[in-house]
Amino acid sequence: MNHKRQTSEKPKDLKKSLTNFLFYLKPYFIPLIIALILASAGSICSIIGPDKVKEITNTIIAGLNTGIDLDKVKSIAIFLLTIYLLSAIFTYIEHFIMATITNRFSKRLRSEISDKINKLPLKYFDNHAYGDVLSRVTNDVDTMSQTLNQSIGTFVSSITLLIGSIFMMFHTNSILAITAILSSLFGFVFMAIVLFKSQKYFELFQEEMGNLNGHIEETYTGHNIVKVYNGFDHEVATFQKINETMFKSALKSHFFSGLMQPFMGFIGNFSYVCVCVIGSYLAINGHISFGVIIAFTIYARLFTQPLSQLAQVATSFQSAGAASERIFEFLAEEEMVKETNKEYLDPNSVQGKIEFKHVNFGYSNDKTIIKDFSCKAKPGSKIAIVGPTGAGKTTLVNLLMKFYPVTSGDILIDGVSINDLTRENIHDLFIMVLQDTWLFEGTIEENIIYNKENVEFETVRQVCKTVGLHHVIKSLNKGYKTVLSDNETLSAGEKQLLTIARGMIKNAPFLILDEATSSVDTRTEELVSSAMDKLTEGRTSFIIAHRLSTIKNADLILVLNEGNVVEQGSHEELLRKNGFYAKLYNAQFESIHK
């Protein structure tokens, strides 16, 4: 299991995250502005209401002695009903537009991340847990989309409601307006302090969520290994450590954000009481009418309501800010160098000659894996690469496939440098079968013809017969149409045969087998070896194997040790030398006989 995790040490740049957020939101600016205008319009309708309530109240009170003007009350009531109905319509349309924008924004972000994944070099995935990448695609994007959908419209309508309430309060009575504002001022100060204190905990929470997803993904992928090695306690301890850190950050962030709502509620009630007390005093002395007090109690609520909403929005913005930093940090990762197609090799006309010229390579500057490696592979030859673990066997293949750039030297295919070929062109030239089987949820036939068009079923059947897989597939309920899933159990060897069959379907001039028979038994290995002999006919093949018995018939065996080719030759020649290869070969058979 891969437990590598990399915690970003980059300084947090909220301004840069906001700029990136606006950039991805740019295509939706016009509908977004319309939605925000509608949100503001809805708030303005709500602001007009209390003033009309004041008119109704004063009309009723004035008419208690002389008779109530019912026509005026009726007209004001109809006006109130109209503006509240308009407010509801504006709010509905605003929510509909925001939901549409949110889903399209999320779709674009996920597409950008998916595209980014295909452009990242392998070294990125060597240093980051897969679960952390998945967390950015799912949790972080969802957090941003929820904020966009629920908070931006609320933020704008709350600001409009807040400013409009202040204007209408001063328009109605300045003394009561000052009373309401001063009594609510503490809320603004408290909210600013909480936002400042809690932001770091929201960032830590999002980061630890990625670590937790990474750990869970790794643990359940290797669940059998955990069971076999009794590693349950170790994995639980690791889980508990990450979970505890996540718990503490979540507790602190939600504690601080949770303080806002009750405190702002208290401030609202306090403001309401102050307005009632001061308003009663002014009414008793004849400075204001009773309708003004009624209107101001509503304005006090309207004034404190957006404060509570802004507190909630601020919490949502903090989570979204932490999520956006992780997303845009990922999207800003260094990509593979963009290539220009200087040369092109047609897979149907390639001769099959490969040459390594003084190749040096290291994953880091202080550690060189491949040292001055040179080798020539003739067209149609079978090259075996052997050596102890860490000798650089798989690294050679990664360099040949251009997964990593060579530090110095060059690799030539038919005399053309791989630096002058695109990665796509190089990958079209190779059949590659790895020791790690990769099968997706689909039919067996779909897995075999993966990314290959216009393949006839008879071709698939013949290939499966060649690798000895046909009888296994026919024994399944739906044969080649059987959908591979967790419920359909295939042995590790059968899965490996499927990937070998996939490789045989692809008609390419070069073949790479990286421990392709590591998961099959001895009888199946003989069958696969026979099939591979047919597959390698007319193809230049590179075979990496720990089982030295599988590469006896190789045209050339390269023996690697610590990044150097210490020996090369045929199987018989290397045994007669009685050198490093002979020791590896004899040690392997001694261990078998023991």
Among 331, 246, 332, 329, which Cα is nearest to 12's? 329
The answer to whether 297 and 88 are in contact (CB under 8 A) is: no
Q: What is the pLDDT of residue 244?
A: 85
Residues of the chain within CATH 1.20.1560.10 domain(s) are 14-331
**Order of strands, sheet of 556-561, starting from the edge strand that comes earlier in the sequence:** 430-433, 510-514, 540-544, 382-386, 556-561, 564-569
How far, in Å, CA of 231 to CA of 1, rounded? 12
**C-alpha to C-alpha distances, 169 to 58, 212, 290, 467, nearest whole angstrom:** 17, 50, 15, 84
**Correct CATH for 367-429+511-594 of 3.40.220.10, 3.40.50.300, 2.40.50.140, 1.10.357.10:** 3.40.50.300
Say what the pLDDT of residue 480 is. Answer: 87
Residue with tokens 């038919």, as numbered in its chain: 414
Q: What is the pLDDT of residue 10?
A: 45
Please work out, in degrees rounded to the nearest 5, the angle formed at the alpha carbon of residue 84 by the alpha carbons of 79 and 85.
95
Question: What are the distances in angstroms from CA 77 to CA 74, 84, 539?
Answer: 5, 11, 88
Report the pLDDT value the prediction gives residue 3, as an integer from 0 to 100.
39
- pLDDT at residue 183, as a whole number: 75
Element (H, E) at 84: helix 70-119
pLDDT given for residue 276 in this prediction: 79
Quick: pLDDT tens for 108-128: 888 888 888 888 887 787 777
| Residue 583 vs residues 87, 389, 553, 579: alpha-carbon distances, Å | 85, 15, 19, 6
pLDDT < 70: residue spans in the chain? 1-18, 47, 49-70, 73, 187-188, 191, 195, 199, 220-230, 257, 260-261, 308, 311, 341, 486-489, 515-532, 534-535, 546-547, 549-550, 563, 588-594
Residue 146 has phi, psi (to 5 degrees) of -65, -40
Residue type, 119: K
Q: Which residues make up the CATH 3.40.50.300 domain(s) of the chain?
A: 367-429+511-594
The CATH number of 14-331 is 1.20.1560.10
Provide the pLDDT for residue 2. Answer: 41
- Residue 246, pLDDT score: 81
What pLDDT is attached to residue 62?
59
Rg (CA), the chain: 35
